[in-house]
Amino acid sequence: MSLQMPPSHPFDDDKLREECGIFGVVGVTDAANFVALGLHALQHRGQEAGGIVSHDPVEGFNSARRFGYVRDNFTSQTLMKTLPGPLAIGHVRYSTAGSKGAAIRDVQPFFGEFSMGGAAIAHNGNITNADALRRELIERGSIFQSSSDSECIIHLMARSLQQNIPERMEDALRRVEGAFSVVAMTRTKLIGVRDPLGVRPLVLGKVGDGWCLSSETCALDIIGAEYVREIEPGEMVVISAAKGVESVRPFRPRPSKFCIFEHVYFSRPDSIIGGRSVYETRRQIGVELAKESPVEADLVCPVPDSGTPAAIGFAAESGIPFGLGITRNQYMGRTFIEPTEQIRNMGVRLKLNVNRALVQGKRVILVDDSVVRGTTSRKIKEMILDAGAAEVHFRIASPPTAWPCFYGVDTPQREKLLAATMSEEEMREHLAVDSLKFISLDGLYRAVGATEGRKADCPQYCDACFSGEYPVAPTDMIAKGFQLKAAE
């Protein structure tokens, strides 16, 4: 089925993109309002579309799914009145693992009516055996509504032999491979699950007499909820107003592999992961970078806005002054018509402008979070030089991104990743800068608190995008011809 009205995307093509944020709440009046606020705080995890399902004892299940920002869609009194009840879940997404087209039927949460009542689910992550599951389900007579990998879960639940919904969900998730954090709901229960490796985040909060689940703690803050704890890898919590939080363990235990890129870029700096401030981790990455790859210079300048904490750390550690050499246009846009006489780097100019007076004649250290395709880095370098900088040194707050992610992150194909085809020196030449240094994988592990660095035999995090070591085999992708890293 086809593409209709794909909304334009405000972000650059030259970043990895988290694909989803999920939020749920039970035991409060007008739960959907809380969910709308929570999703607003998680908007950085998915800007394309959002959806909310609520349940009310009288009105039953209701849902609304919309393209665009939460603030533009889920703030009208008219709409929110159609989502009554004390229990609701929601989802924001960038795009699905399915077809490239954007269709409203791909927007989660997904809903299914079973003989024992309805259930809705919202999924953050990616199912690596979704193609195989889909084929099997269609053979058995299931009709798929969407192109989303996540829809497999609800069909597996529909066919489960178990007699209640949480058990059907356990049954379904045992068939699923890959990375998933799930928030789901029945008529009375809020359910949260993380996959056995705990790749994607999910936290539990307490709000008034009720409970909530969220991808990140920053969404607890916005509704004034108290942070309780993280859902553990492989844990399933079933929460009801009546019985509170019950925890079960549907999966065989495995060593945890939390996504290290959540620390580097995906999560908001004001969130707390594993007891650590994301902001502080990023600042610490800057400190490590300054130790690993010092350089004489006059100015430490962040590439806005994600490079800022690392730049602050780099400046503090190096003693080189910190300054905002690049201004971000907060009214970003990118579809302006180019005037007939060509303007160099117009795409970047719409979003960024160099503070000419600040950089002129200076040796500038640019601190950025990552290099993906390298296209933006090149343009920024040119702008800085055009403005009269004497030297440009890139310091990157993550190791070279050389492998695609199959666990719920939008990454280019491997051949588009600069680091997949070039050495660090080749990249420096390609970007034509005076120096280019990435933080080491060990430096990154130290910055996130693994003081001993990365354990090569069993890394403490999922770092497949840097290392090529995939903790879960990407079944569907291998079937399509993806080559894993050769064993060494």
Coil, strand or helix: which one is 40? helix
Q: Which of residues 331-370 bind a copy of itself (CB under 8 A)?
A: 331-333, 335-341, 343-344, 346, 349-350, 353-358
Instruction: Supply the DSSP string of 410-476, one letter for each residue.
Output: E---GGG-HHHH--HHHHHHHHT-SEEEEPPHHHHHHHTT-TT---TTS-SEE-HHHH---SS--HH
Question: Alpha carbon 351 to chain centroid distance?
Answer: 22
324 lines the binding site for a copy of itself (CB under 8 A): yes
CB 230 within 8 A of CB 274: yes
Residue 163 interacts with a copy of itself (CB under 8 A): yes or no = no
β-bridge mates for residue 437, sequence order: 395
Structure tokens at 433: 């800068």
Does 279 bind a copy of itself (CB under 8 A)? Our answer is yes
DSSP state of 361: T
> Binding residue for a copy of itself (CB under 8 A) from 172, 191, 199, 272?
272
Sign of CA dihedral 143, 474, 258, 36: negative
Q: Cβ neighbours of residue 228 under 8 Å, at least 6 residues apart?
A: 203, 204, 205, 206
Closest CB 55 distance from a copy of itself, rounded Å: 11
85 lines the binding site for a copy of itself (CB under 8 A) = no
Is 306 labelled a binding residue? yes
CB nearer to a copy of itself: pick between 57 and 333: 333
Q: Does 385 bind a copy of itself (CB under 8 A)?
A: no
- Is position 20 annotated as part of the catalytic site? yes
Give the nearest distance from C-beta 47 to a copy of itself in angstroms.
7
Listed in sequence order, the residues at least 6 apart from 314 whose beta carbon sits closer than 8 Å to its beta carbon are 286, 287, 289, 290, 300, 320, 365, 367, 395
Can you tell me the distance from the alpha carbon of 196 to that of 179, in angstroms, rounded to the nearest whole number?
8
Question: Which one of 57-65, 190-198, 389-397, 426-434 is the stretch in contact with a copy of itself (CB under 8 A)?
Answer: 57-65
Binding part of the chain for a copy of itself, among 192-200, 247-255, 329-337, 469-477 by CB under 8 A, reads 329-337
- Is 283 an interacting residue with respect to a copy of itself (CB under 8 A)? yes
Per CB under 8 A, 144 contacts a copy of itself: yes
Six token digits for residue 20: 């989803």
Give me 275's structure tokens: 């007891």
What crossing angle do the helices spanning 308-318 and 278-292 adopt, rounded to 10°?
Answer: 50
Number of residues that bind a copy of itself (CB under 8 A): 102
Restricting to residues 175-194, which ones interact with a copy of itself according to CB under 8 A? Answer: none
- The sign of the CA dihedral 445, 450, 456, 462 is negative
User: Which one is catalytic: 20, 212, 218, 301?
Assistant: 20
User: What's the closest the beta carbon of residue 272 comes to a copy of itself, in angstroms?
Assistant: 6
465 in a labelled binding site: yes
Sign of CA dihedral 421, 427, 431, 436: positive
Q: What residues contact 145, with CB distance under 8 A and at least 6 apart?
A: 105, 110, 151
Closest CB to a copy of itself among residues 341, 425: 341
Q: Does residue 226 touch a copy of itself according to CB under 8 A?
A: no
* Contact by Cβ (8 Å): 407, 179: yes
Name the one range near a copy of itself by CB under 8 A: 27-35, 189-197, 361-369, 393-401: 27-35
Asked if 233 contacts 256 with a C-beta cutoff of 8 angstroms, the reply is yes
- Judge whether 482 and 474 are in contact, CB under 8 Å: yes
Residues 101-130 that bind a copy of itself (CB under 8 A): 104-105, 111-115
Instruction: Tell me the per-residue interface mask from 229 to 268 with a copy of itself, x by CB under 8 A, - otherwise.
Output: ---------------------------------------x
Instruction: Please state the closest distance from residue 446 (CB atom) to a copy of itself, in A.
Output: 18
Question: Of the listed pieces 43-51, 124-132, 254-262, 460-468, which binds a copy of itself according to CB under 8 A?
Answer: 43-51
Q: Which residue in the set 7, 247, 255, 270 belongs to the binding site for a copy of itself (CB under 8 A)?
A: 270
Residue 205 CB, nearest approach to a copy of itself (Å): 13
Min separation Cβ 336 and a copy of itself, Å: 5
Q: Which residues are catalytic?
A: 20
Annotated binding site for Mg(2+): 306, 368-369
Annotated binding site for [4Fe-4S] cluster: 259, 405, 462, 465
Annotated binding site: 259, 306, 368-369, 405, 462, 465
